[in-house]
Structure 1
Amino acid sequence: MSVANKNVKYLRKLRGWTQDEFATRLGIKRSLLGAYEEERAEPRIDVLEIICDMFKLTLDELLRKDLSAETGSGNYLAKRRALKLAPVVTHIPFVPVKAAAGYLTGYADHEFIDELNTFTLPMVSGGNFRAFEILGDSMLPTPSGSVIVGEKIEALDTIKNNTACILVSRNDGIVYKRVQKSAKTKNKLTLVSDNPTFQPYTIGADEVLEMWEAQFIISKTNTLQSWDVGQLVNIVANLQQQVDGMKKGKN
């Protein structure tokens, strides 16, 4: 077994995580993690970078040093216990609305990401997270100005229909929508708003630069969202149109 593959398995066991738990934190499938540990595949560099951040290691240490050899059998349990109890602080980069335009070109630039302000949440440990400020009423009752904390989605086939996500694309910029996939057109995604006055629309999967599954919503406590009569009328009319369309489709 190569050093990197061996270290991935060793670090998972050191934390006491199952393959499912570790794969979720890494944003990959359990089967892929199994392939890494069984040396049927070489770990991707982006996965190794997440592991380095998670365990405070350098990439050189992970690739070249047998980490298990440094721990004798006598103190293995003590080191595992200490590592499990030690807090894993995850710094979450924050993308405000004013930085959205720059993010479209700098999303993959480590220097750009390093310049963003970060914060931590006590319930977030490990993994690849990012926070985005959203504006508009398309996802009401989530109010405009909320901050959506999302976890990176590495592959579209890992998400379920109607999952709320932040999508980053060249044409639409940064949007917060629910994602629906079609079995017939795998290269298309339908984006749906929680506010029914906004019509769903379809984009090509190849247009998506990044996708982050929403995990937490942060909004001001004094923000009160209310529906006015005009909004309610539009909602009812919109729903009636959809019902009429469904009836015509059956005839």
Structure 2
Amino acid sequence: MSIVSNNIKYLRRLNGLTQEQFARKIAIKRSLLGAYEEARANPNLTNLKNMAAAFGITVDNLLKNDLRKLRETPDLSLPLAQTKPMTVSHSGNVPAPAQPRTPTYAEPQPLARIMDKYQQPEQPLRMVSRQVNLKPVSGEVPPAQQPRTMNYANPEPPQPANQMSNQLPVFNNQVQPTQFNAGREERPNIYQTVQWVALNTQQHYLANFQNPSYLTNLPSFQLPNLPTGYYRAFEAGEDYAYPGSILVGTFVRNWYDIHDGMQYVFVLKSEGIVSRIAFNHVKTSGFLLLASDNPAVAELETPLQDVLEVWEIKAFISLQMPAPQPSLDRIFQLVDELQIELGQYRQQDI
């Protein structure tokens, strides 16, 4: 919309006139006045003079100044023209010219008077005092609570296994040296004492593998050339390449110490004691893939919750000797002998 259309509409509403009333005042049709206010038509010079005279302003102010700012900016002074005779462009009675309107402003008031009107005085504080009678407490005064000191010599026992079901399952990594192990560590020799579990006692071991008195009474033997550590041996079953062998392993305390392609003895809730080649998928899938040297034994995808203990196989004792593997020198020797024999057969044919 244009400035003149906004001014016409603004001044008409400011004077409290409807379109019909103002159209009669300047002797035009209401539809034409609506077209002026909606900027669908431009008023001619005659109608501009009549509207400016009705509002008491000049035509120049009606065309160029946005009179709506008068309400937003009271300091804006608009030059008001004197009353001029109104000419009529259409037939009708000539209305009397409107008197010029001069804006009136209230007398400015001192700032102190305004502050007294809106700022409430601060209420004084009323002090209330009351005597408090303290009554003596009957009975003995309880002694002050002593600060708790940590006893590192005798730490608190760990939580039972049934209270740790909501945590990440871990296998038995709290192996404590038994009386048997303590006596072994005191002897200064290079032979490592190894406790072992026979094949026919594995079910009993599953029920008592955390019982110190049971572990102390396990049968044992000594082996040379083993690094210092905590060892346990298990009799292998059909899942090992040499059934009946004694598998000597050292205890594994961390899931991530289980390496791909290495052989371990696993103590499982579901399968019992098995010897397998491990593939660690704990980071990606949360389980261990257990394979066997025996092709007839199926692979196992074992979740962590099923693992009780893990022992890395460091040595094995077997009554079966591994099949001899031919060396490269022996293979080259056999090839040379075959070539000599073939040469002799060719000479005989000739």
> The TM-score by the shorter chain falls in which range?
0.5 to 0.7
Match of 1:172 in 2: 271
**1:201 equivalenced with 2:303 (yes/no):** no
CA distance in 1, matches of 2:235, 2:176: 26
Any gaps of 5 or more consecutive residues in structure 1? 5-43, 57-82, 225-251
Question: What secondary structure is seen at the aligned counterpart in 1 of 2:277?
Answer: strand
CA distance in 2, matches of 1:176, 1:55: 28
**1:139 equivalenced with 2:226 (yes/no):** no
CA distance in 1, matches of 2:311, 2:174: 20
CA distance in 1, matches of 2:227, 2:321: 28
The one-letter code sitting in structure 2 at the alignment partner of 1:132 is F
Distance 1:189 1:166, change over 3 A: same
**1:159 equivalenced with 2:261 (yes/no):** no
TM-score with structure 2 setting the length: 0.39
The one-letter code sitting in structure 1 at the alignment partner of 2:229 is G
Runs of 4 or more, structure 1, over 3 Å off, are: 44-55, 221-224
Match of 1:87 in 2: 189
Distance 1:131 1:45, change over 3 A: closer
Residues 131 and 149 in structure 1, CA contact (< 8 A), matched pair in contact too: yes
Instruction: Using CA pairs under 8 Å that are at least 6 residues apart, name the structure with larger relative contact order, 1 or 2.
Output: 1
Residues 177 and 192 in structure 1, CA contact (< 8 A), matched pair in contact too: yes
**1:185 equivalenced with 2:285 (yes/no):** yes
Task: Name whichever structure is richer in helix by fraction.
Answer: 1
Residues 94 and 116 in structure 1, CA contact (< 8 A), matched pair in contact too: yes
Question: What secondary structure is seen at the aligned counterpart in 1 of 2:192?
Answer: coil
Residues 54 and 127 in structure 1, CA contact (< 8 A), matched pair in contact too: no
- Which residue, out of 109, 131, 149, partners 2:248? 149
Q: Which of the two has higher C-alpha Rg?
A: 2
**1:99 equivalenced with 2:201 (yes/no):** yes
Match of 1:117 in 2: 219
State the identity as a percent: 23
Deviation, structure 1 residue 195: 2.2
Residues 229 and 250 in structure 2, CA contact (< 8 A), matched pair in contact too: yes
Task: Name whichever structure is richer in strand by fraction.
Answer: 1
Cα deviations by residue, 1:188-247 (Å, 9 ceiling, x for unpaired): 1111011233331201112111110001111114798xxxxxxxxxxxxxxxxxxxxxxx
Match of 1:65 in 2: none
TM-score with structure 1 setting the length: 0.53
Distance 1:111 1:49, change over 3 A: closer
Match of 2:20 in 1: none
